[in-house]
Amino acid sequence: MVKALVITGYGINCEEEMAAAYRLASAQAEIVHLNDIFQERISIHDYDILNFPGGFSFGDDLGSGKVLANKMLYRNKLSGKTFLRDIREFLAAGKFLMGVCNGFQFLVKMGLLPDVNGSQQQEVTLTRNNSGRFEDRWCHLQVNSESNTPFLKGIKQLYLPVRHGEGKLIIPGKIQQRVVENRLNCLSYCTAGGEPTSRYPENPNGSHLNCAALCNDSGQILGLMPHPEAFLSLYNHPNWCRLRREDSAISEAGEGLQIFRNIVEHVAGNRV
């Protein structure tokens, strides 16, 4: 069975929903406090997919995800290795990593996304929304058809909620060109008709390239601001009653669940 590890602790608060998503996708999911990894009671190498859920790590006091990223970069585990070294070995083994919202902020500030130069140095950042306030709304999203990440395989559009105060992705010019060329801007805020847009509130934060998610060159790492784990059932949808009346045969699965099904099926299908 495919095994997913879901990290919690230090203000992360969406771990139960993410674990539920993997279980609904027929994977085994375990929620583990980050300290258990640093104390080496748990090894990430025993799992297939590593996940950093949303939340408010360390209260976002020094910028969303920054303190958590520094802990991964500089704190040693009992063996003397950093968590970053563990993650590098995990990815080198062909495994997968996903970060949602605060988890995306962590991946960016740790240098794991987009990593166009292969140096794992921070190249982009996520900062305060253009609106100047916390945004809690549902958004239409367009998948980049040329993206190579298995997380989004076969998906064209999504409708997912965002819940963030610092979701504006800033991408410097040269990095932006590489992101576009390498098709790493894998998910865009769009209109209901599927046209990427910078217009508020369809684009809730003002991200460069209207970008709602990034992947790395290999497609093994996905970071996204919207919350797929918050739309696992039709009944999570704000207008589910109307949808059921309009189509009595509509699937009871939420659109976000497909992301988890995709990666679980990909891992299971590529095992020897």
Catalytic residue among 14, 17, 101, 215: 101
Residue 63 confidence (pLDDT):
62
pLDDT at residue 61, rounded to an integer: 58
pLDDT higher than threshold 80 for residue 31: yes
17 given a catalytic annotation:
no
Q: Tokens representing 133?
A: 């306030």
pLDDT of residue 116: 95
pLDDT at residue 92 greater than cutoff 90: yes
Q: How many domains does the chain have?
A: 1
DSSP one-letter code for 61: T
Q: State which amino acid sits at residue 169.
A: L
pLDDT digits 0-9 by tens, 126-167? 999 999 999 999 999 999 999 999 999 999 999 999 999 999
Mean pLDDT of the chain: 93
The predicted model gives 229-246 an average pLDDT of 96
Specify the pLDDT at position 51.
98
Mark whether 181 is an active-site residue: no
Q: Which domain holds residue 113?
A: 3-269
Q: Return the percent helix, strand and coil in the chain, to nearest 5.
A: 35, 25, 45
Residue tagged active-site, from 227, 237, 255, 266: 227
pLDDT of residue 86: 93
pTM over 0.85: yes
Average pLDDT (206-224) is: 98
Quote the distance between the C-alpha of residue 205 and its chain's center: 16
**What is the dihedral sign for C-alpha 58, 189, 6, 66?**
negative
Among 163, 113, 122, 159, which residue's Cα sits nearest to residue 139?
Answer: 159
CB atoms within 10 A of CB 23: 14
Tokens, residue 221? 């790492």
Provide the pLDDT confidence category of residue 235 given band limits of 50, 70 and 90.
very high
What tens digit of pLDDT does each residue of 42-80 get? 999 999 999 999 987 666 655 666 778 777 777 888 888
Q: Tell me, what CATH number does 92's domain have?
A: 3.40.50.880
pLDDT at 55: 86
Q: Which of 139, 229, 237, 255 is catalytic?
A: 229
Average pLDDT over residues 97-126: 93
195 is catalytic: no
Dist. CA 121–CA 42, nearest whole Å: 27
